[in-house]
A and B are shown apart, each in its own frame.
Chain A
Amino acid sequence: MSLNDHLSTLKYAFPKTLPILAGFTFLGIAYGVYMHSLGFPPIYAILMSVLIFAGSMEFVAGSLLLGAFNPFSAFLLTLMINARHLFYGISMLDKFKGTGKKKMYLIYGMCDESFVINNTARTPSDINSGWFMFYVTLLNQIYWVSGATVGSLFSSLITFNTDGLEFVMTALFVVIFLDQWMKERNHISSLIGIAASVLCLILFGTENFIIPAMLIILIFLSLIKKFITKNEVISS
């Protein structure tokens, strides 16, 4: 790819990441401020946002560092909180095929937001979809790390009333869900996703509902396999 191709891919990717720019700058700053309030020097928030790059898990990791030294339970807790990534991977197996060396980074940086954009975007034929996904992932990580850096360095200077700005991530997920809803011919998967999650949230509470919800989704979708053909669920 020529430099011009890179620039046009970046130009195409950037607008798709604008909601993430708003959300990650804000949440990243919130994370930096949070780590500062726990008493950690700025390098903690910066390195953890680069290395872990999984928003909710980083907040949890901050509090883990203040608790007892128990690496194994930290590892298990991480698997539980991040188990949803398994579904992202399964959904991206084919899309990441043929992306070359970039594939390692695409998988490494596959947070919720990069996944939803890379999974739903339909790139035009003159845009290389591998590089598009690479830039989406990279931009998102830059937003997050910048936010965390600013937050941990300048936490006392932030005075703008940001109450409610965190809703931008909910808004993104609602819009992605709606977009999918409007183009699918059959709502069965969308409906089971909402129903299983709400049911498990009621039954198991906010801390433990994701894995049982994933299991119900998996079992249900497997049971209805013979009644569903590909073009009923997705249409591009």
Chain B
Amino acid sequence: MMSITQQIIMIACVVAGTLLTRFLPFMIFKADKPTPKYIKYLGYVLPPAVFGLLVVYSLKDVQVTSLEGFLPELLAIGLIIGLHYWKRSMLLSIAGGTIFYMVLVQVVF
């Protein structure tokens, strides 16, 4: 078991690592200088790819080896796509998909 001081050092390292990943781009590309063209380009092409990465990241623990492992996620995402193309309301799509998923994992599967 670590001492309190050791625990504080460990937490400080995690905080420092997180701060570094968040602040680094802003430390390299200062606000008072024009952002290089290539970085500007990345700034507007990266977000769609990052959203895709986040979708996959949030589904990374889904089991694809059995039907019960991925069917609730598949059905719920299907419903979200349907709802979103129908009403294009963020809240309706998110709430609808989540409640449907909860019913599926609690009652059906």
Which residues of A does B touch, CB under 8 Å? 15, 18-19, 22, 47-48, 51-54, 57, 61, 64-65, 69, 71-72, 74-79, 82-94, 96-98, 103, 107-108, 110, 112, 116, 119-120, 161, 163-165, 167-182, 184, 187, 189-194, 196-198, 201, 206, 209-210, 213-214, 217-218, 221-222, 225, 228, 230, 233-234
Contact = CB atoms under 8 A, between A and B. Distances in A.
A75 B2 contact: no
B56 A198 contact: yes
Contacts of A174: 55, 77, 80-81, 97
Given A78-B17, A163-B105, A190 B94 contact: no
Given A93-B43, A164-B106, A171-B76, A201 B56 contact: yes
Contacts of A206: 60-61
B93 A169 contact: no
Interface of B: 2, 6-7, 9-26, 29, 31, 35, 38-61, 72-73, 76-77, 80-81, 84-85, 88, 90-91, 93-95, 97-98, 101-106
B94 A172 contact: yes
- Interface residues of A, dominant DSSP: helix
Contacts of A228: 41, 45
Contacts of B60: 201, 206, 209
A88 B47 CA distance: 8
Contacts, number: 262
Contacts of B81: 174, 178
B68 to A, nearest CB: 13
Contacts of A72: 13
Given A167-B76, A174-B77, A194-B52, A86 B105 contact: no
Contacts of B42: 90-91, 218, 221-222
Given A71-B13, A119-B47, A197-B57, A89 B73 contact: no
